[in-house]
Structure 1
């Protein structure tokens, strides 16, 4: 199968454990794929303002990106918004009520910021071992403490791309999933304890398909690489889905192939094999 578009997850897939950089081998593989005419589309749960330096180098392949698990498709170099599926405030209020009833921390993600109450911030600090990167890198830069999240939802013109439940205890996972399945939302696990909730049509799969429409690419000629629960829809929708070696079994089960981990250049290896025609 000839690949025309590569949808590539970032954290845990393309990025090293610093959450900022690619290996030289991956940079080389992406450049070679681009020279072959393949569109490279990072697909991430991050907001545009939180994209890492690795995808803002001015490389020839930097064009489209799928953000916030499919809530937005933007131009990488300029941030131009091409397509959006933002959450309705009423759907977000259902999620807030669920979080409050179970005593879970919750964040609203909008316009490059994360809104949370002081209570939610304190709840997250109680789980710093699991949330170290989020607490020490994301929230200091993008977190905004507010008296209530309802006040944020009442703001006119709010572009609400996600609601995050940063820490869901294992024993509450099934209960939270059942409640969200009955709500008008999409949701995916981005980590063992982290749930990200979006508009009902906002998934990485739909974001990838939107990129295909914009670029005139046949979805059958796509390859996707990912490692987390929020990548599953994309891996299933792609012509070829590749899971990282470090992915959970459910992610591997959704894929057509499995490569090595991000620490072992798994993304580069997959590009070399399936796009560049290597061994």
Structure 2
């Protein structure tokens, strides 16, 4: 039997790496019946059912799912409005609720802010959907457009989890902290804007916890997910340099990008008040960031697999 607050039947689309695999483990540990949908490139953890299908092929996805139905679908890999269209059509009548993992980058089109942005700063329902752009969607725009598809259909209960920048774990495939650590070790310049502005972050385990928690609730609409507290690239460099013997962070201000990861020329933070009011208790970034920095600067032999 599932633990209190955990859904009974869950479909996870994607989710075979980083916080997705942690989410699946939490669901299984809670006693949920989990079906993982992917193209077959990686098997799900033991205990999860596996449906092999290309989500971009609507007919194949319908056929592979058969008559399966779910309490909730957790979509980890919806990147375009076309994928959202297919998902909405295929899962209508199959699930009571659809949770899409979105991103802080949906706020890229919002005017400069002086404080953390609430969900209302980007209204997906008001965004015209462009299913055939002249150029491929950027990551942020693809997510904005995908959110817009779900938001346009209130009869299809959905959630867009707008995730902050995720840090932690030796399986972080992005290489963003490694970029800084490598340059600090060698004294190579680190490109930053003339004025470095802060952003928000979330630990890899915390976002897995948040998605697990969201799966067991009933709310819909967009929700911001970030730890409490602001951090900028200069502070990240300082923390990393303190852990690297002889390391030196050489910040080089350049008038235009590209900048180093997390080096922003605008205030780039989200307000997590909605999720907090709904009952989720976020951690303080300052409580977990030192451990993440320590792991990112440890010699390779000292880094475990977590």
Q: What's the TM-score, normalizing by structure 2? A: 0.33
- Higher Cα Rg: structure 1 or 2? 2
Q: What's the TM-score, normalizing by structure 1? A: 0.36
More strand by share: 1
More helix by share: 1
